Amino acid sequence: MTDRPAPTASGKPGDRYKWTALTNTTAAVFMSALDGSIVLIALPSIFRGIHLDPLAPGNIAYLLWMIMGYRLVQAVLVVTVGRLGDMYGRVKIYNSGFAVFTFASILLSVDPFDGGHAAMWLIGWRVLQAVGGSMLTANSAAILTDAFPQEQRGFALGVNQVAGLGGMFIGLVAGGLLSAWDWRAVFWVNVPVGVFFTLWAYRTLRETGKRSGGRIDWWGNITFAVGLSAILIAVTFGLQPYGGHTMGWTNPLVDGLIIGGLALLAAFVAIENRVAAPMIQLSLFRSRAFTFGNLAGLAISIGRGGMQFVLIIWLQGIWLPLHGYDYADTPLWAGIFMLPLTAGFLAAGPVSGYLSDRLGSRGLASGGALLFGASFLGLMLLPINFSYWIFAVLIALNGIASGMFASPNSSSIMGSVPARSRGVASGMRSTFQNSGTAVSIGVFFSLMIAGLASSLPHTLTDGLRQHGVPADVAAQVGNLPPVSSLFAAQLGVNPVQTLLEPSGALNQLTTEQQQTLTGREFFPTLISGPFHSGLVIVFAFGAVLALLAAIASLLRGTGTPRPAETTQLDPTTSEGKAMALSTIDPASALIVIDLQQGIVASQTDPAVAGIVERSARLAAEFRRHELPVVLVNVTGRAPGRTESTRFAGGTELPAGWADLIDELDVQPSDHLITKRRRSAFHDTGLDTLLRDLGVTQIVLAGIATSSGVESTARAGSDHGYHVVLATDAMSDPDSDAHRHSVERVFPKLGETATAAEVIDMVEATR
């Protein structure tokens, strides 16, 4: 274990460690994202390798779920595994994710079946691979945010996000190169990399953030997973024909799945407002930077994910065949010709992350979103058979725009949340991104099919008849769902040959007619007009999404760090500003220290009456919202103590001395703790009680500030709770000691607020 770097004297991670963390997490995010897109290009080779007809009606669902299943699992799980990282250790969950990801990659490459069973094997292990990928991506940003100081965080997150999105783009090229050798190679490539980085992560990464208590929100997870799955299953059926329609959106099953999925997602939101430890911390959405940053990210993810599919189909199905490339080779060359997109992103991402640390996030992210939309408008104006250099410039601009947006946006989101919530915040950010990518498949394919449906059947039928295909066969092929033509082009097969083979019509034609119909130019030329109609709709929608993303990005605020970040102190610092209250967790508890008859009666300061009144109001507010109230009293010195104390001398305490004051209005639901030391955590079972209740945050009030309150705050912070101190609901016989605790000690332990501010925050977050 000598490879684990030691912390510096200040207790912060050293420079060597932060770069180690950046290297390892960047590799992990890159691998996870690569596997989200590598299959897209490798699908032709995979379908041929497992002997699956891509155009058979039932097989379209296999194709869709090989693409969507990975994103769905990541969208569903990434918040939960981020939460597990906050609870049990981000590095521990992250390291386990590497092992799971590598194990699933091995199983994917040894598919023992054929046909549909082989497809189900691949989809099943892709799900497990996505579980490992979720564990990696959910905790990588949180590990980096813990490891890097505020002034370097944008750069670190920028590099990490560039690796993630760059992996999506590079996967398009890698899938073509590897599948040209063997389809299994797209999974083999993960194995040596996964083994190396799993071992390296275990030996070098360490926990630098605080763990928080809590429980897993099982009902929230179930409703979210089933609800989103139902919607994506509906998309799968909706893209296929039904009842004479080109798409299945009129299918009652599709309608039922969508309605049921939306109902479950609505139930999910209701559950998140009520449970003690929610999957999604809705309180985080009180931050403008967090809310609008995630909305902007969702819009960009939908636009970016859909654009990839459309560009691949455009290149593989039309442009490359028109320029002399065989259909079997188009998947590889489509990835190569999309390299400017990857290059633009890789160039802009780290630079924008570096600049966001100095210039702020809002301007860069908003400008990136606008440039993203402008590239869509440029693509919309291109002719079908374009000049490549113009296409290359436009997709390079799109990549630059994505890089400009991604790093500052991630930095803004992660910098807007308290340190204890970084794991779940990273997961929520990834959920928006993965959900957007998964949904984009249905959205963009539906728009494209809608654009094709109006003219493709007539155009295809007439074109086939003009070259000798019997009218009934031509009409049958022309009336096939447009999705068949799209997938034929995407999967690198000769569309006309594939569509005519079942009828045997090709064998009835002359050699010249056969060569014309199955040549490289006939099908691309035939569908160019209808396809361009679909492109205009798709790219116009992408431009609208980009505009909405830019507006959301501008609404995030100035992008300056939240008070809880700017006032966080080094443990060795002797003084600092108080940290303003940022939020009240859904699982918060009020702890009132030593407001008991004997102690309150002994106070001579008239301000104590106000302390009592504000503490009582806090207790009433927490009870009203069904939040735990813990009332603590003290009955004497710790056992074995011999030095002089106020309880020394063997005298018994006066009757009623330890009874809680009447003003607290003790209720049956309150939790009573008796202590014999200064801290309410010592030998009392308080920590066990709070963890059983799922509490992640404690609000402290009572007497005395420099003794019972401060000792409890220190212990609470050491136990991993988010500590809030209601400074006007506490008192100390020594005013200097009170001031020292509030001004110099409490900023190191948690956030401070008045009782009224706490009450307002409780009300606002419920």
The top-scoring range by mean pLDDT among 177-181, 231-235, 646-650 is 231-235
Tokens, residue 310: 């459309």
Distance of CA 138 to the CA centre of its chain: 6
Comparison of pLDDT for 268 and 332, the residue scoring more: 268
- Give the mean pLDDT of 22-49: 81
Mean pLDDT across 741-760: 86
Tell me what percent of the residues of the chain surpass a pLDDT of 70: 86
**Which tokens hold the place of 415?**
């910098």
pLDDT of residue 325: 86
615 within 8 A of 701, measured Cβ to Cβ: yes
Q: Give the Cβ contact number of residue 357 at 10 Å.
A: 22
Burial (Cβ within 10 Å: 0-12, 13-18, ≥19) of residue 27: buried
Q: What is the DSSP letter of 742?
A: I
Beta bridge partners of 593: 632, 702
Q: What is the model's pLDDT at position 392?
A: 95
With a cut of 50, say whether residue 567 has pLDDT above it: no
Q: Give the whole-angstrom CA distance, residue 1 versus residue 261.
A: 48
On the question of pLDDT at 486 being above 70, the answer is: no
Supply the pLDDT for residue 693: 83
Residues 545, 513 contacting (CB under 8 angstroms):
no
Helices 339-359 and 150-181 pack at an angle, to 10 degrees, of 170
User: What's residue 266's pLDDT?
Assistant: 92
Convert the pLDDT of each residue in 334-383 to its tens digit.
878 988 988 888 788 778 877 876 777 888 889 999 999 999 999 999 99
Distances, alpha carbon 228 to alpha carbons 61, 239, 428, in Å: 17, 17, 15
Could you give the 3-state DSSP secondary structure of residue 249? coil
Which sign does the torsion angle of CA 260, 261, 265, 268 carry? Answer: positive
Cα 677 to Cα 15: distance, rounded to the nearest angstrom = 40
What HEC string does 408-430 produce? HHHHHHHHCCCHHHHHHHHHHHH
pLDDT higher than 90, residue 699: yes
Looking at per-residue pLDDT, the higher value among 543 and 178 belongs to 543
190: tokens are 């993960």
Q: State the amino acid at position 541 in one-letter form.
A: F
Identify residue 309 by its one-letter amino acid code: F
pTM value is 0.64
Question: In percent, how much of the chain has pLDDT > 90?
Answer: 17
The encoded tokens of residue 125 equal 């292990």
Residue 547: its H or E element: helix 522-554
Between 478 and 123, whose confidence is greater? Answer: 123
Mean pLDDT across 710-724: 90
Q: What is the pLDDT of residues 110-136, one digit of tens each?
A: 888 888 888 899 999 998 998 998 888
What average pLDDT does range 180-200 have in this prediction? 84
Length of the chain: 766
Q: Is pLDDT above 50 for 571? A: no
Predicted pLDDT at 109: 84
Other Cβ atoms less than 10 A from the Cβ of 221: the count is 18
Average pLDDT for the chain: 80
Q: In the structure encoding, which two tokens stand for residue 133, read together?
A: 């990928």
Residue bearing tokens 């009573």: 672
For residue 517 the two structure tokens come to 């119909």
Say if residue 588's pLDDT is above 80. yes
Q: What is the pLDDT of residues 642-665, one digit of tens each?
A: 544 444 444 566 778 888 998 898
